[in-house]
Chains A and B, each alone.
Chain A
Amino acid sequence: GESVGLHLPTLSVQEGDNSIINCAYSNSASDYFIWYKQESGKGPQFIIDIRSNMDKRQGQRVTVLLNKTVKHLSLQIAATQPGDSAVYFCAENTNAGKSTFGDGTTLTVKP
């Protein structure tokens, strides 16, 4: 069956360093991928997305990379701040428009 998973369940970084969160997906038919940030007690918040016809997309301090050959997605956060501490989920969309979520990576930023 299709699945989206994350390589590491937790990540701890020093404030100011760059963070890289990884995600593996198995459904080669997925054509749209999203990264979400979920802070404690809140719903997931959209961060950045990428379509399968792209391999890189940049936002403010965040970059998403897509490698379709190995079915791998990553989220890079530049100059990580304490406010970036949260759980990060990747999700893939099928043609039916439903999102399948990965397991989540907890990012902790140390001051």
Chain B
Amino acid sequence: SAVISQKPSRDICQRGTSLTIQCQVDSQVTMMFWYRQQPGQSLTLIATANQGSEATYESGFVIDKFPISRPNLTFSTLTVSNMSPEDSSIYLCSVRTGTDTQYFGPGTRLTVL
């Protein structure tokens, strides 16, 4: 299994600002993902964070809006840039270990005013 922590756990931000969310895993993992979960809805994959190279974004998500870093096999950051109220969501970090099992962090609850 993998233990995942995220910082911050929640934040309230002003429109037009940016927030960087950190994800730390207790072991080296090959695959890390970032998801968004809007209130009362399911999870939507934003991107796959690739170690040492640019993240792979899903349709509807772009690097300028959601820049991602992954400097090593245990850490990644997601930045939500130039925020608007529509960005209010829970942002979840997820990892896949050697098996197909996927683990999730506790999430970062973001409110944009």
Q: Which residue of B lies closest to A106 (CB)?
A: B40
Footprint of A on B, CB under 8 Å?
A: 4, 31, 33, 41-45, 48, 92, 94, 96, 100-107
What are the residues of chain B within 8 A of A99 when measuring CB–CB?
A: 45, 102
Q: Do A44 and B45 form a contact, CB below 8 Å, given A49-B100, A97-B31, A97-B100?
A: no
Please tell me if the beta carbons of B31 and A44 are within 8 angstroms of each other in the complex: no
- Could you tell me which residues of chain A, from 31 to 59, have a CB within 8 Å of some CB in chain B? 32, 34, 36, 41-46, 49
Please tell me if the beta carbons of A98 and B100 are within 8 angstroms of each other in the complex: no
- The binding surface of chain B is classed by DSSP as strand
Q: Do A42 and B45 form a contact, CB below 8 Å, given A49-B100, A49-B101?
A: no
Please tell me if the beta carbons of B42 and A43 are within 8 angstroms of each other in the complex: no
- The binding surface of chain A is classed by DSSP as strand
Measured in the bound complex, the distance between the Cα atoms of B48 and A99 in whole Å is: 11
- A sample of 13 more A-B contacts (CB under 8 A), given A36-B104, A44-B43, is A34-B102, A43-B4, A44-B92, A46-B103, A93-B100, A98-B33, A98-B45, A98-B48, A99-B45, A100-B45, A101-B43, A101-B44, A102-B42
What are the residues of chain B within 8 A of A98 when measuring CB–CB?
A: 33, 45, 48
